[in-house]
Amino acid sequence: MVGGYRSEGLAAEMARARLALEAAGVKLEYLALPVDLDPAQETVLGFALREAVTNVVRHARARTCRISLEPLAGEDEGVRLEVRDDGEGGTAPAGAEGMGLSAMRDRVEGLGGRLERRTEGGTAVVVTLPRRRTNEPDRAGQPAAGGLAVEGAG
């Protein structure tokens, strides 16, 4: 499934997330501020959003899921995506990750970012990516290209 992932953009992933959560009876709270993303960042954030929402639908037994996307300023300049639910929280042993979360972490770290997973009072997956300059290559050696503003309200 991961190998067949094809990004259609973060806005398309958000639309799919909204539909998946609605079908599962999970109320969505959504806040997205304008952010500048290069294509690699948009792909990684879209993948992270898809995986996190899939986990909410399959495992959380949540009533509410909050998704936020925001730019970061200062020393932490970049972008932050958070998917938080009010469900049961993770049941895996400490330090254990499934394939989806592990793949998500690899992609995020490949762009110099970090992924945090918290399981108190539900589950929160937080992805932080640093700001990338247009000519700055990612760890795979691919140069960044252009930016994309993603906006939304929910």
CATH number for the domain including 116?
A: 3.30.565.10
Residue 69 resides in a domain? yes
Give the pair of three-digit tokens for residue 44: 């990684």
Using one digit for the tens of pLDDT, what is the confidence trace for 25-79? 999 999 999 998 999 999 999 999 999 999 999 999 999 999 999 999 887 789 9
Residue 99 resides in a domain? yes
* Count of Cβ atoms closer than 10 Å to residue 145 Cβ: 12
Q: Which domain holds residue 39?
A: 10-153
pLDDT of 76: 75
Residue 114 resides in a domain? yes
Residue 87 in this model has a pLDDT that exceeds 60 = yes
pLDDT of 149: 37
- Rg of the Cα trace of the chain? 15
Residue 95 in this model has a pLDDT that exceeds 60 = no
Residue 2 resides in a domain? no
pLDDT of 56: 95
Task: Tell me the DSSP string of 54-117.
Answer: HHIIIII--SEEEEEEEEE-GGG-EEEEEEEE-S----SPTT---HHHHHHHHHHHHTT-EEEE
Residue 86 resides in a domain? yes
Residue 84 resides in a domain? yes
Residue 80's φ and ψ, nearest 5 degrees, are: -135, 130
Mean pLDDT of 141-148: 44
For the chain, the domain total comes to: 1
Question: What global pTM score does this model have?
Answer: 0.79
Residue 18 resides in a domain? yes
Residue 112 resides in a domain? yes
